[in-house]
Amino acid sequence: MTKETKAGSTKTWRPQTLMVRGGTTRSQYGETSEALYLNSGFVYDSPEQQSARMAGDEPGYIYSRYANPTVRMFEERLAQLEGAEDCRATASGMAAIHTMLVAPIKPGDRIVAPRQLFSSCVWILKNVMPKMGVDVTWVDGSDLADWERAMAKPCRFSIIETPSNPLLDAVDIRAVADLTHAAGGELIVDNVFASPILQKPLALGADWVVYSTTKHMDGQGRTLGGAILGKTQKIVDDIQQYYRHTGPSMSPFNAWVVLKGLETMDLRVRRMSDNARQIADRLATNNKITAVRYPGRSDHPHHNIHASQMEGGGSMLSISVKGGLEAAYAALNKLNLIDISNNLGDSKSLITHPATTTHRTLTEDERAAIGLDNTWLRLSVGLEDPEDIAEDLEQALG
Ligand SMILES: *Cc1c(COP(=O)(O)O)cnc(C)c1O
């Protein structure tokens, strides 16, 4: 059997300590690093014990689709870091968002969402929700008057992303939380771009936080994963049964990778954010570029909101290249260091042309509504020397 180490003492630890030690349980062997319990099932001492455990009358593991010790260590560590009561880890970020939206929803419910959302999330809202008899109202995420109009009717959930993909728009978390609560709903924040290091939505009034752990938590491009964080009772009432019986659970191997990823996440995210800041400032004076969008720069149209709810500017920036699609593609083709990829939050700097890749499935009008045209490139700044990253961009643009 495993035992909790120093149980109860975790509450007083500071974030960097929680990231290294939070949630750790050790087996009878006393291993230093967290063990990888790569098993699907569990055995019991007796049929009485099995029956009691399956009835929920006795604590303990049953089956890794429900819970697994390595996955549990990750869930507890992330919950402590986020300041959430509990967490459920999932096989991908989209499994988290799908479970979060579908498990609690009922026909006749309404969801309010900004157009500036991750494209697979838009797909669920457009294609899955109507089939379930759920109405979706779309707003401009950064326009509070639009939110107020949308919240004149009851709403079950609002779901936001801030900074958003790909133009790093800000949504005022506290204001949208208040409006959502007044309409009888709960606010879900997809906090992937900021990461738990730079932004804490629950402290700003959000009810739920969802992650793709594929991004900054893994941070080295190895595993897919996701997480749902919220109040224990809410998870039990709204999420748990659906999660157990439909199988979106995270694999123990992936949980072990991201559990170890959390130990270095603070260092990585802060360094990537510093690098991104330097690169954004340097590109702002480049005459091949018409605009730089970086949440940490005062020329970002939503800088004040970002500054009020997010620490630093994060690892993502977008640039608008003079000469449109042709010039943007030409620059991508000349890069020597930065990789062309739709992933983000990685130690390797990655760049993509959103209008023809990640946002390809949106209609022209939908892209226009979020201000995305063919001139934009989205850069995820990694851990390389920022001089090398900047020089690669400058030679590619020149
Ligand atoms: C990547 C991402 C997702 C989806 O996560 P997966 O792990 O790829 O399923 C959701 N939201 C945002 C903001 C993302 O960047």
Helix (H, G, I), strand (E, B), or coil: what is residue 265?
A: helix
Distance CA 70, CA 53 (A): 19
Residue nearest to atom 6 of ligand 1 (CA): 93
CATH of the domain at 29: 3.40.640.10
Residue 267 Cα to ligand 1 middle (Å): 22
pLDDT value at residue 5? 47
In this structure, the answer to whether residues 156 and 249 fall within a common structural domain is yes
Atom of ligand 1 nearest to the CA of 343: 1
Residues 179-207 as b or e (16 or more Cβ within 10 Å = b): bbbebebbbbbbbbbbbbbbbbbbebbbb
User: Which CATH number belongs to the domain containing residue 341 in this structure?
Assistant: 3.90.1150.10
For residue 386, what are the domain limits?
266-397
State whether 149 and 212 are in the same domain: yes
Q: What is the pTM of this model?
A: 0.96
Measured in Å, residue 37 CA sits from the centre of ligand 1 at 26
Name the β-bridge partners of 339: 350
- Asked whether 169 lines ligand 1 (CB < 6 A), one says no
Query: Atom 15 (ligand 1): residue with closest C-alpha?
Result: 192
Q: Is 75 in the pocket of ligand 1 (CB under 6 A)?
A: no
* pLDDT for res 1: 36
Q: Whose CA is nearest to atom 8 of ligand 1?
A: 93
CA of 212 to the centre of ligand 1 (A): 5
Query: Do 323 and 246 belong to one domain?
Result: no
> What is the 8-class DSSP label of residue 6?
S
211 lines ligand 1 (CB under 6 A): no
Answer yes or no: are the C-beta atoms of 228 and 103 closer than 8 Å: no
Among 229, 245, 261, identify where a domain stops.
261
Question: Distance from the CA of 285 to the center of ligand 1, in angstroms?
Answer: 31
Q: Are residues 248 and 346 in the same domain?
A: no
CB 393, CB 283: distance < 8 Å: yes
Report which residue type is found at 181.
H
Residues 275 and 345 placed together within one structural domain of the fold: yes
Does 166 lie in the same domain as 25?
Answer: yes
Same domain, yes or no, for 19 and 103? yes
Do 68 and 187 fall into the same domain?
yes
The pLDDT, as a whole number, for residue 190 is 98
323 in the same domain as 207: no
Based on the fold, state whether residues 277 and 144 are members of the same structural domain: no
Per-residue pLDDT of the chain (398 residues; tens, 9 = 90+): 334 445 445 568 999 999 999 999 999 999 999 999 999 999 999 999 999 999 999 999 999 999 999 999 999 999 999 999 999 999 999 999 999 999 999 999 999 999 989 989 999 999 999 999 999 999 999 999 999 999 999 999 999 999 999 999 999 999 999 999 999 999 999 999 999 999 999 999 999 999 999 999 999 999 999 999 999 999 999 999 999 999 999 999 999 999 999 999 999 999 999 999 999 999 999 999 999 999 999 999 999 999 999 999 999 999 999 999 999 999 999 999 999 999 999 999 999 999 999 999 888 898 998 999 999 999 999 999 999 999 999 999 99
For strand 350-352 and strand 339-340, is the pairing parallel, antiparallel, or unpaired?
Answer: parallel
**Last-in-domain residue among 234, 261, 288:** 261
Residue 11 is predicted with a pLDDT of 60
CB 168 within 8 A of CB 277: no
> How many domains would you assign to the chain?
2
- Cα separation values, 286 from 208, 272, 283, 290, 365, Å: 40, 21, 5, 8, 30
Q: Which of the listed residues 116, 117, 120, 165 should we mutate to test ligand 1's pocket, taking the one with most ligand atoms within 8 A of CB?
A: 120
For residues 108 and 7, state if they share a domain.
yes
Asked if 249 and 271 sit in the same domain, the reply is: no
Instruction: Fill in the amino acid letter for 343.
Output: N
What torsion do the CA atoms of 190, 193, 197, 201 make, to the nearest 10 degrees?
-30
Q: Which of 261, 294, 313 is the last residue of a domain?
A: 261
